[in-house]
């Protein structure tokens, strides 16, 4: 077995496990959310699920790949930021090792998102990504679909989240070719069989 075939299945299985773990995290919030806002609730598990469609070759569309790539990077990094921003809560003995696992998993999610990035995204993909992620932020911070967070700092989180919804699509659009050549990203692309 080559390196790709040895790592491909474990990564797919980790993604599937992440979808179920993430879905479990959001189950109560989903039950309380209006049906028309449900798509804005389970950010991480939703984008990991969509990434599987790309990884497994079910969907081959550069616009879809660009939007999913941004979602993976944005929500992976957002979750890491939240854990570190509220480290006083998440570093408590009861949560410490779970927090470490979640941080590492979400760093992996962001890296996987970079691996899904198309070489030269279309301008339409950029426009759709900007509109979609800003709409998601409006839903989270103005319509109440943001996940439950420890108290304090919500305004800072909101500002940084909205800034990331503008900056990430622009940066990933402008530097897609260079990002794909980074050693870790190129390696993961090979492992996942993404051209």
Read off the pLDDT of residues 16-25 as tens digits, 9 standing for 90 and up.
999 999 999 9
Asked if 121 contacts 173 with a C-beta cutoff of 8 angstroms, the reply is yes
- Apex 24 CA angle, 42 and 168, nearest 5: 30
**Count of structural domains within the chain:** 1
Domain extent, residue 155, equals: 3-192
Q: Where does the pLDDT of residue 4 fall: very low under 50, low under 70, confident under 90, or very high at 90 and above?
A: low
Q: Determine the length of the chain.
A: 195
- Apex 110 CA angle, 170 and 94, nearest 5: 135
- Ramachandran assignment for 153, one of left (phi > 0), alpha (psi -120 to 50 degrees), beta (any other): left
Percent of all residues in the chain with a pLDDT value above 70, rounded to a whole number: 97
Task: State the average pLDDT for the chain.
Answer: 94
Tell me the C-alpha distance between 46 and 41, whole Å: 9
Percent of all residues in the chain with a pLDDT value above 90, rounded to a whole number: 94
**Average confidence (pLDDT) over 127-137:** 98
Whether pLDDT at 144 is above 50:
yes
- Apex 47 CA angle, 9 and 85, nearest 5: 110
pLDDT per position as a tens digit, 57-95: 999 999 999 999 999 999 999 999 999 999 999 999 999
Tell me the C-alpha distance between 5 and 26, whole Å: 32
Sign of CA dihedral 29, 30, 36, 37: positive
Whether pLDDT at 1 is above 90:
no
Q: What's the start-to-end Cα distance of the chain, in Å?
A: 20
Asked if 103 contacts 73 with a C-beta cutoff of 8 angstroms, the reply is no
Q: How far is CA 52 from the centre of its chain?
A: 12
Asked if 152 contacts 77 with a C-beta cutoff of 8 angstroms, the reply is no
């Amino acid at each position: 077995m080559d390196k790709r075939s040895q790592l491909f299945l474990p990564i797919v299985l980790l993604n599937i496990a992440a979808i179920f773990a993430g879905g479990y995290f959001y189950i109560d919030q989903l039950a309380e959310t209006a049906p028309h806002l449900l798509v804005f609730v389970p950010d991480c598990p939703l984008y990991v699920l969509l990434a599987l469609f790309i990884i497994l070759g079910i969907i081959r569309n550069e616009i879809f790949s660009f939007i999913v790539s941004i979602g993976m990077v944005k929500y992976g990094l957002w979750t890491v930021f939240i854990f570190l921003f509220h480290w006083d809560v998440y570093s408590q003995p009861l949560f410490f090792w779970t927090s470490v696992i979640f941080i590492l998993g979400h760093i992996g999610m962001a890296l996987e998102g970079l691996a899904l990035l198309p070489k030269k995204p279309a301008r339409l993909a950029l426009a759709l990504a900007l509109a979609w992620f800003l709409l998601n932020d409006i839903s989270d911070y103005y319509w109440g679909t943001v996940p439950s967070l420890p108290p304090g700092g919500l305004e800072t989180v909101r500002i940084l989240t909205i800034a990331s919804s503008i900056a990430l699509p622009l940066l990933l659009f402008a530097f897609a070719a260079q990002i794909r050549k980074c050693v870790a990203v190129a390696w993961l692309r090979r492992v996942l069989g993404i051209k």
